[in-house]
Amino acid sequence: MFRSGETKVCAVCGARGEEISRHLGICGPCLVAGGEEPEQTAKEAHFDLRRPFQLPAEPPRTPRGVVCRICGNQCRMGEGERGFCGLRHVKDGKLIHLSGTARQGILEYYYDPLPTNCVAEWVCAGSGERGRFNLAVFLGACSFDCLFCQNSQFRFLTARLAPAYTPGELARAADAKTACICYFGGDPSPQMPFALRASELALERREGGVRICWETNGSMHPGLLRRAMDLSLESGGCVKFDLKAFTPSLHRALCGVDNARTLENFSYAASRIRERPDPPPLVASTLLVPGYVEAEEVARIASFIASLDSGIPYSLLAFHPQHAMRDLPVTSRRQAEECLAAAREAGLTRLHLGNAHLLR
């Protein structure tokens, strides 16, 4: 647990400070710079966290293995190997889907009264719907391995492959008081076939309509994202991309995998904004991790967003110490103000600060 004033040392450059993760052992600037030592150290940090759950340290790349194309990791698995998300493996030379299919998903769900603490609440149609509920669907797998994960308990669902629901069972949970369904986790990416089918069934059942929303790292297959955008545009919902970092070496160190698919998918989603400008069908967010995702990195992310559409809503979220980064401090007010200024200077016009009550 973090102790105020605690000093830690970067194993690469020798920098000292409280904003260095003890588990990672490397400072943010060294991760941005990249190199063999930081990359290898980061891989070991992820391996230590994933080993107890029998998850591979990185997406498998076995020569002549069977490829899964559900997400951007595109795991290439040999006989008996398990995919990065834990929901696929190879048996007798065939790809086996343990869950996350159009027949079954691993998840928990609950009813969250509106307005809720949603990333898009400040621009969403649901912000004024008191007395109604969001069906919050917590999906039990992820295509990333974020060291700062705010919901790392999803791994216990992955390990148990439970609770399991059919698309019809989840669709029936969207009762008359349900105004929206939001998929998060974990992440929707490894279980998109399930979530898409459940959403289609829910829309068929609910004559009065229900909004379909997604909170995701955006790493799913482009065809699956296309269907998700279709459903959100049709229903009045939105797709919320959590852009963890922009610099590839920093993203790999913090999240365990590459971010190329996320950026490609975000660009595609931005191309569809004009189909329904209001309420916005696309929202972006970034968690402000002290020492790692600060003003310079936010400026890179914001510049990328602005190059597509300066009016895309962008929410900066205050960080609370979790998972492998429990020894970091919460986001400071100084960091939040600097990051907001950086995003504004990059050209974005719709900015928001989430979890402001956490700022120190």
Q: Is the CB of residue 319 less than 8 Å from the CB of residue 288? A: yes
3-state secondary structure of 58: coil
Phi then psi dihedrals of residue 104, to 5 deg:
-155, 145
pLDDT tens string, the chain, 360 residues long: the values are 445 557 899 999 999 999 999 999 999 999 999 999 999 999 999 999 999 999 999 999 999 999 999 999 999 999 999 999 999 999 999 999 999 999 999 999 999 999 888 899 999 887 778 889 999 999 999 999 999 999 999 999 999 999 999 999 999 999 999 999 999 999 999 999 999 999 999 999 987 689 999 999 999 999 999 999 999 999 999 999 999 999 999 999 999 999 999 999 999 999 999 999 999 999 999 999 999 999 999 999 999 999 999 999 999 999 999 999 999 999 999 999 999 999 999 999 999 999 999 999
> From the CB of residue 279, how many other CB atoms can be counted at a distance below 10 Å?
17
Output the pTM of the full model: 0.96
The CA-atom distances, in angstroms, between 136 and each of 28, 66, 173, 210 are: 33, 33, 10, 13
Written as six digits, the tokens of 193 are 């076939």
The CA-atom distances, in angstroms, between 258 and each of 88, 145, 250, 312 are: 19, 11, 9, 23
Can you say how many angstroms the Cα of residue 123 is from the centroid of all Cα atoms in its chain? 19
Q: Is the CB of residue 343 less than 8 Å from the CB of residue 296? A: no
Strands (E), 92-186: 94-97, 105-113, 133-139, 164-165, 178-185
Residue identified by tokens 């993760």 is 21
> From the CB of residue 313, how many other CB atoms can be counted at a distance below 10 Å?
23
Q: How far apart are CA 145 and CA 121, in angstroms?
A: 26
What are the DSSP calls for 203-246, one per residue? HHH-TT--EEEEEE---B-HHHHHHHHHHHHHHT--EEEE---S
Q: For the chain, which domains are there?
A: 105-358 (3.20.20.70)
Of 69, 101, 191, 175, whose CA–CA distance to 138 is shortest? 191
Q: How far apart are CA 236 and CA 63, in angstroms?
A: 44
Q: How far apart are CA 27 and CA 20, in angstroms?
A: 5
